[in-house]
Structure 1
Amino acid sequence: MAFGQPRIEYKTNAQMRSMHEAGLVLSRALDAAVAAAAPGRTTKDLDAVFAAVLKDAGATSNFLGYHGFPATICTSVNEEVVHGIPGGRVLQDGDILSIDGGAILNGWHSDSARTVIVGTVDPEDQRLSDVTEAAMWHGIAALATGKFIGDIGNAVDDYVTSVPGKALGILEDYVGHGIGSEMHMAPDVPNYRTNHRGPKIRPGLCLAIEPMLVRGGIETAVLEDDWTVVTTDGKRSCQWEHSVAVHDKGIWVLSAPDGGAAKLAPLGVVPVPIP
């Protein structure tokens, strides 16, 4: 008998449908925050836009107050990888911005992140964002076809390392996670190839899959605010994330209005609505 392994929470179909409702609210809030991202706006402005959508939908933020976090979203700019705190920082033309947010509706959580380039687009930043997003979808596709959690990280790693051109780094300090009645739950979901296959993929499993890529080295540090994670070489970074459910008929991307159909089709995966 194994000891010390965190218990995985497996959801019923009804619970996963509730998580999808939370995911739809979250998707609308991220739509609004991304649309508001423009030169001259502050990261606090985006936080207010996001929070207003949650309030109108009767949802609450699972970020606000989490271990003392003071905002409803994380806004990570340029060399900031994750957990940036919204505030008075004014967005500049050419910034690459990752917006990570979550929503709770009727006790069930969703978690998702997107990256947007503000104003003038640097082709290398666009490549970084495109590869990170595609890596996420390859990981999600592996959840549909694989047998173990480790298959997700293998798929992300294999895709990123296969992309032509200058190599991008896959962050190893932070990983994806289980999600459900809490935001962060077992199991961990690495975004890179490891020697551990991890738990078996089975119906009722819900995961937040969130690769984080960098244009330079993968070493990171935490700033004095005890939240903001930055690349130590100052190179730019990117994050994309979706919450995904496994049920007995297939998978469904909980934080995408179409369940992930459009992005998964080129990968040969057809998501199935939760029965």
Structure 2
Amino acid sequence: MNGPVVVGVDGSPSALAAVGAAAQEASLRGVELRVVHAFLWPAMHAPPRPSPLGPLTGALHETVERIVADAVERARSQASGLPVSHAVVAGEASTVLQAQSRRAQLIVVGHRGYGGFAELLVGSTAVHLSAHARCPVMVVRGRPEPAGPVLVAVDGSPGGQRAIAFAFLEAVLRGTDLVALHAWSTWTDHGEHALGRPVDVVDLVGDVDRLRQEEEQVLTEALAGQREQYPGVTVRPRLVRGRTRPALIEASANAQLMVVGARGHGGFTGLLLGSVSQAALHHAHCPVTVVRSDL
């Protein structure tokens, strides 16, 4: 796909950090960076107008111009020669950026901007886009390890293959290793409806070594196709016995990027974001890219 990398900006420090990450992504991919600012009159505390989407004038115009100009300047300082375009679009940020995602190859946003509830670890725009955008969404958060690997969560679900493919591509573009982490446990909730409690699978099969071998096979098979496509990528499979969310959060401390699917096995099928992707968005120590399986 030859679409641009799109970054949403609102003048917040988080958004400016996202601009830097987006500029890097656009430069690595050899595509245009598109800086997009969405505005609503009430959110900007502007005087009432005959139309809430009327032309930008006066102080509001100066504010918006400064936000966009600062973002463009940051992008060009991060990647010399990078083609950068910009747009100011009337509307709510989530809606505007979701529309932009239809022709983008990646949307980049900060983990939280201005507005909303200060106690939230990640803003509503980041969560909404991760669930609804028509391209992968990178949420810039934490302090990435510049020399670290790309980290991808592997659960063996068919939907997770797009996230794995994206992670391999990122490892190629960044010239770094790929850590593929698959967490497993002998405990499962699958039998809870029948037995009224979680079940220890060892009680059913009686062989923890066999379970470990089966989970290792899940990890191997999940990576096989992409390993063939990207033979130059150094892949470090990690099989972890324990819960997926804490294992990923811990591993993210040494990564430059985490990649997760929007949802995998388990959970409630009606939810667009699973518990693992939600936990990553809220707690990862590095930027997180969420890749939906239906893109």
Above 0.5 in TM-score?
A: no
Q: TM-score, normalised by structure 1?
A: 0.28
Of Structure 1 and Structure 2, which has the larger fraction of its residues in helix? 2
